[in-house]
Amino acid sequence: MTDTMHLNMGPQHPSTHGVLRLMVEVDGERILSAKPDIGYLHRCFEKTAEGLTYPQVLPYTDRTDYVAAMTNEFAYVLAAEKLLGLEVPARAQFIRVIMAELQRMANHLVWFGTFALDMAAVTPFLYAFRDREKILDLFERASGARLTYSYYRIGGVRKDIDAEFVRMAREFLDYFENQVLPEYHRLLTGNRIFELRTQGTGYISPEQVFAYGLSGPMARGSGVAWDIRKNEPYSSYDRFDFEMALATGGDNYARYTVRIKEMAESARIIRQALDGLPEGEVMGKVPRVLKPPAGEVYVRIEAPKGELGVFIVSDGSTKPYRLKWRAPSFSNLQVTEAATRGEKVADLVVTVGSIDVVLGEVDR
* Rounded Cα distance, 177 and 268, in Å: 10
All residues at 6 or more sequence positions from 288 whose CB lies less than 8 Å from its CB, including other chains: none
Q: Hey, which bits of the chain come out as E strands?
A: 5-9, 21-27, 30-37, 152-153, 156-157, 295-303, 306-314, 320-326
> Judged by CB, which is closer to another protein: 140, or 315?
140
Instruction: Classify each residue of 247-271 as buried b or exposed e, where b means 16 or more C-beta atoms within 10 Å of its C-beta.
Output: bebbbbbbbbbbbbbbbebbbbbbb
The vertex-140 CA angle with 136 and 146, nearest 5°, equals 55
Among the residue ranges 144-152, 206-214, 266-274, 294-302, the one whose residues contact another protein (CB under 8 A): 144-152
User: Is residue 187 a contact point for another protein (CB under 8 A)?
Assistant: yes
Instruction: Supply the minimum distance, in Å, between the C-beta of residue 104 and another protein.
Output: 21
* Rounded Cα distance, 218 and 332, in Å: 7
User: Is residue 345 a contact point for another protein (CB under 8 A)?
Assistant: no
User: Is residue 102 a contact point for another protein (CB under 8 A)?
Assistant: no
Kindly report the length of the chain. Answer: 364
Phi, psi of 113 (to 5 degrees): -65, -45
Residues 22, 45, 60, 306: which binds another protein (CB under 8 A)? 60
* Rounded Cα distance, 96 and 235, in Å: 8
Q: In a 3-state reduction of DSSP, which class is residue 175?
A: helix
Instruction: Supply the minimum distance, in Å, between the C-beta of residue 348 and another protein.
Output: 23
User: Is residue 344 a contact point for another protein (CB under 8 A)?
Assistant: no
Instruction: Supply the minimum distance, in Å, between the C-beta of residue 240 and another protein.
Output: 27
User: Is residue 45 a contact point for another protein (CB under 8 A)?
Assistant: no
Amino acid at 27: D
User: Is residue 43 a contact point for another protein (CB under 8 A)?
Assistant: no
> Judged by CB, which is closer to another protein: 158, or 291?
158
Instruction: Supply the minimum distance, in Å, between the C-beta of residue 150 and another protein.
Output: 4
User: Is residue 150 a contact point for another protein (CB under 8 A)?
Assistant: yes
> Judged by CB, which is closer to another protein: 192, or 275?
192
CB-side exposure of 291: number of CA atoms within 13 Å? Answer: 4
Whole-angstrom CA distances from 234 to 118, 160, 286 are: 35, 21, 20
> Judged by CB, which is closer to another protein: 180, or 204?
180
Query: Is the Cβ–Cβ distance between 326 and 308 less than 8 Å?
Result: yes
> Judged by CB, which is closer to another protein: 56, or 236?
56
> Judged by CB, which is closer to another protein: 32, or 52?
52
| Chain CA centroid to CA 12, Å | 23
Q: In a 3-state reduction of DSSP, which class is residue 312?
A: strand
User: Is residue 193 a contact point for another protein (CB under 8 A)?
Assistant: yes
Query: Is the Cβ–Cβ distance between 352 and 20 less than 8 Å?
Result: yes
Residues 27, 29, 87, 137: which binds another protein (CB under 8 A)? 137
> Judged by CB, which is closer to another protein: 59, or 284?
59
Residues between 107 and 136 that touch another protein (CB under 8 A) = 123, 130, 133
Instruction: Supply the minimum distance, in Å, between the C-beta of residue 42 and another protein.
Output: 18
User: Is residue 141 a contact point for another protein (CB under 8 A)?
Assistant: yes
Instruction: Supply the minimum distance, in Å, between the C-beta of residue 336 and another protein.
Output: 29
> Judged by CB, which is closer to another protein: 144, or 293?
144
Query: Is the Cβ–Cβ distance between 70 and 103 less than 8 Å?
Result: yes
Give the interface size with another protein as a residue count (CB under 8 A).
Answer: 28
Q: Hey, which bits of 137-254 come out as E strands?
A: 152-153, 156-157
Among the residue ranges 107-115, 141-149, 215-223, 295-303, the one whose residues contact another protein (CB under 8 A): 141-149
Residues 7, 26, 32, 52: which binds another protein (CB under 8 A)? 52
List contacts with another protein (CB under 8 A): 52, 55-60, 123, 130, 133, 137, 140-141, 143-145, 148, 150, 158-159, 183, 186-187, 190-194
